[in-house]
Amino acid sequence: MKIVKKVLLGILILVGGLVLFLAGSVAVDMLVDGGRLEAVTNTTIPGVNGGPDVRAYVAKPAGEGPFPAVIMIHEFFGLNESIVGKADLLAQEGYLVVAPDTFRGSTTSWIPRAIYQVITTKPEAVNADLDSVYAWLESQSDVEKDRVGVAGFCYGGRASLTYSLHNNGLAATVVFYGSPETDATVLANLPGPVLGIFGGADQSIPLTDVTAFETGLETAGIPNQITVYDGQPHAFVQDAEGIQSGGAQAEAWNEMLVFLERNLKGGSSSNDAGVEAEYRAPFQKLNYRGYRAAGARFMAAPHRAGNIEHGAVHGINVTRGKLSRV
């Protein structure tokens, strides 16, 4: 009995020490922040409905516009150079991109603090800040107000989905390996088509959840395109340099470009005259499911149950079918 008590005491001391260490490391990281957020933001967006102002990085395309716009939501590390690089890359495609700080002044490269940021940030506060961003976009003369979409990575993938459920003015939603919603009655509130990008080797999001996500979208009648990149881990689309180097990062990025071209620019893709891929990786297949519903902003691609069609998107061989793996 004494041995058991000693073992339990030892475990408690170990756990307590670990908790204190993590708490201390988070505090130290906050103290040595060193103006990280100021270094990656260039715009202060006025808060609406009494909310605080929102710091953001805004990337604009060349020309006068008006442009379709994308709200790009960061990972659990917070707004950083990786997201800034992606925003710049997307702006080169003709989108005005706003990457807001949804942690209200906090950003890090330290995983314990990243976790702390997520668990201490309420989704309602995130939606409120994104409402401020959306209102700001609506006030800009160089933005096409009915062509605003949202895209997010990891934590931001879930946040983009949550915000689309909150704001019925959004024209498209892109979820990069964000925790999926599977309840069809909830998903039925989405205002437009959804692109979901997931890694087949992602240990944090089971493929059963991804399948349930797709099933929920289908049941809710929401146009969707869900792709699993076989062998890829969580957060595999890392930065602009990685996207430009080719491989799965490039293909996933290019899949988003096709999706946004259809839904925010009203352009065509698939077997139609699509936009030439700039970052595609040669000799690799990009598989995705086709749309089943047509609307004002999204093109309907043919889909036949049990039938596979082959075509080309941005010069990549395409297979249209059910949930697909590449």
Three-class HEC string of the chain? CHHHHHHHHHHHHHHHHHHHHHHHHHHHHHHCCCCHHHHCCCEEECCCCCCCCEEEEEECCCCCCCEEEEEEECCCCCCCHHHHHHHHHHHCCCCEEEEECCCCCCCCCCHHHHHHHHHCCCHHHHHHHHHHHHHHHHCCCCEEEEEEEEEEECHHHHHHHHHHHHCCCCCEEEEECCCCCCCHHHHCCCCCCEEEEEECCCCCCCHHHHHHHHHHHHHHCCCEEEEEECCCCCCCCCCHHHHHCCHHHHHHHHHHHHHHHHHHCCCCCCCCCCCCCCCCCCCCCEEECCCCCCCCCCCCCCCCCCCCEEEEECCEEEEECCCEEC
pLDDT category at 197 given cuts 50, 70, 90 is very high
Asked which of 50-54, 206-210, 268-272 is least confident by mean pLDDT, the reply is 268-272
Question: Domain limits at 22?
Answer: 1-32
What whole-number percentage of the chain has pLDDT above 70?
71
The amino acid that residue 21 corresponds to is F
Report the predicted TM-score, pTM, of the whole model to 2 decimal places.
0.78
pLDDT category at 304 given cuts 50, 70, 90 is very low
Contact between residue 195 and residue 164 where contact means Cβ atoms under 8 Å apart: no
pLDDT tens column, 132-152: 999 999 999 999 999 999 999
Q: What is the pLDDT of residue 293?
A: 32
Q: Which of 42, 162, 33 is nearest to 110 (CA)?
A: 33
Distance CA 257, CA 68 (A): 13
> In terms of domains, do 63 and 28 share one?
no
Q: What is the pLDDT of residue 110?
A: 87
> In terms of domains, do 8 and 106 share one?
no
Does residue 180 carry a pLDDT above 80? yes
Compare 289 and 16 and report the one with higher pLDDT.
Answer: 16
Distance CA 295, CA 192 (A): 9
Q: What is the pLDDT of residue 274?
A: 34
> In terms of domains, do 42 and 83 share one?
yes
Does residue 307 carry a pLDDT above 90? no
Does residue 252 carry a pLDDT above 80? yes
> In terms of domains, do 2 and 74 share one?
no
Within 10 angstroms of residue 256's Cβ, the number of other Cβ atoms is 23
Q: What is the pLDDT of residue 323?
A: 53
Q: What is the pLDDT of residue 65?
A: 87
> In terms of domains, do 64 and 82 share one?
yes
Does residue 176 carry a pLDDT above 70? yes
> In terms of domains, do 239 and 198 share one?
yes
Write the CB contacts of 246 (distance below 8 Å, at least 6 apart in sequence). Answer: 279, 280, 281, 282
Asked which of 24-38, 117-131, 247-261 is least confident by mean pLDDT, the reply is 24-38
pLDDT tens column, 217-250: 999 999 999 999 999 999 999 999 999 999 999 9
> In terms of domains, do 267 and 174 share one?
yes
Q: What is the CATH number of the domain that holds 148?
A: 3.40.50.1820
Q: What is the pLDDT of residue 29?
A: 47
Strands 143-153 and 172-176: parallel
Asked which of 2-6, 229-233, 245-249, 301-305 is least confident by mean pLDDT, the reply is 301-305
For the chain, how many structural domains are there in total?
2
> In terms of domains, do 6 and 49 share one?
no
Contact between residue 59 and residue 138 where contact means Cβ atoms under 8 Å apart: no
Q: What is the pLDDT of residue 27?
A: 47
> In terms of domains, do 166 and 293 share one?
yes
> In terms of domains, do 52 and 133 share one?
yes
> In terms of domains, do 57 and 177 share one?
yes
Compare 307 and 98 and report the one with higher pLDDT.
Answer: 98
Does residue 289 carry a pLDDT above 50? no
Q: What is the pLDDT of residue 78?
A: 96
> Mean pLDDT, to the nearest integer, of 97-110?
94
> In terms of domains, do 15 and 65 share one?
no
What whole-number percentage of the chain has pLDDT above 90?
68
